Structure 1
Amino acid sequence: MENKQKLNIKDWAEEDRPREKMLLKGVAALSDAELLGILIGSGNKNETAVELAQRILHSASNNLNALGKFAIKDLIRNFNGIGEAKAITIAAAMELGKRRKLSEVMVQPQITSSDDVYHIFHPVLADLNHEEVWVLLLNRSNKVIKKMQVSKGGINGTVVDVRLIMKEAIDSLATAMILCHNHPSGNSNPSGNDNEITRNLKEAGRIMDIQLLDHIIISDGDFYSYLDEGEL
């Protein structure tokens, strides 16, 4: 009779390995056992990490709530290959899942006007003695996905790399963006360089179907909106 040789996870097809599968297809594509297998990292001499995870889940009737009630000592005692460190990792993951359910859903601010942008950035930019350029990345509902600084410069200006903005917008799955920067001089009127950056970012956004909704220039107590002024 031919001996059945155990396959290590490294022997699996790359798209079937849990870590590689997560990177390739996203975390939602993984089963509970595969996710648990990533947590425990390795199995025992007879089982891969995923096979051990399947057995652990089976003992909990394939119910994560039931698994969350397992004591650390029971995991160690009942499953070959689960030591203290792995048992603690499982317990910590179960606790994080429970706390996530109890956490309040983060409310994303929605942008409806240039005033909304001003109120977000005035506390950040108004008192600076140097220029900073920031961008808001928005979803289809004009809710903020991300707020990030893209450049920091001197009193008279700063350099903006449109490519970096577009890369971040694409990675964040944004559908729109708003540029914002300050004028330490107190004059909120746009410069020739401001106009050029606006044109370049608008064109890059048009190509990638990510609309530039506005460019706001903030000074102390005042602001200029390209959209409000009909310049966008």
Structure 2
Amino acid sequence: MYLFDNPGVFLKRTSIKRWPETERPREKLFMLGPDKLSNCELLAILLQTGFKHEGNSISALDLAKEILIEFEELKGLINVLPSELLSLKGIGKAKAAKLVAAFELGRRAAALKNGNCKSFKCSEEVASYYIPILKDLRKEQFRVLLLDTKNKIIKEELISQGSLNSSLVHPREVLNPAIRGSAASVIFLHNHPSGDPEPSMDDIEITRRLCKSFDIVGINVLDHI
């Protein structure tokens, strides 16, 4: 049940434009900085406007609260689909596209930040960077990190997306970017949408084949995470 469906809940709501400037999310962002705003306020800035519901004005902040409740805070929004957002009252294609694009940009920015890391000293450091990026993805992905001689990331390549098996992850598809990028070593990454971290038989077989292929061309395989 939506909060909007409770008669009278929003009868006394006032348009954000009529709030004191110090309380408006956008003005607060400029005065205090984005880190001082709540998730709800940041989301309201992206939404920009609310909507009308049974004659009542629902503000962008009210709508943001409803979205966070529906998706159980930010975790549920990280990989939200446009169709899921469109199922909510007050969310049209423009708002849905804006939210999905914002979270995708955030994910890409996080990946770039990881790529600027000076170097990785161990597999645990790699895992600490990439688990937050990969753990909530709904589809299984296989990625390869190309590293230089100091274990600094040269580039990250997405090799396949979908159910991981030997037909989707062919050594040739993984070797090509590593050779083109002059990688000294590589690290393989892939996620399990099920949440089970244990490697499957396919995982083990793929790793074995890739290690054999990379050994032939003299590129070290440091780990498969």
TM-score bucket of the superposed structures, by smaller chain:
0.3 to 0.5
Structure 1 or 2, whichever has the larger Rg, is 1
**TM-score normalised over the length of structure 1:** 0.45
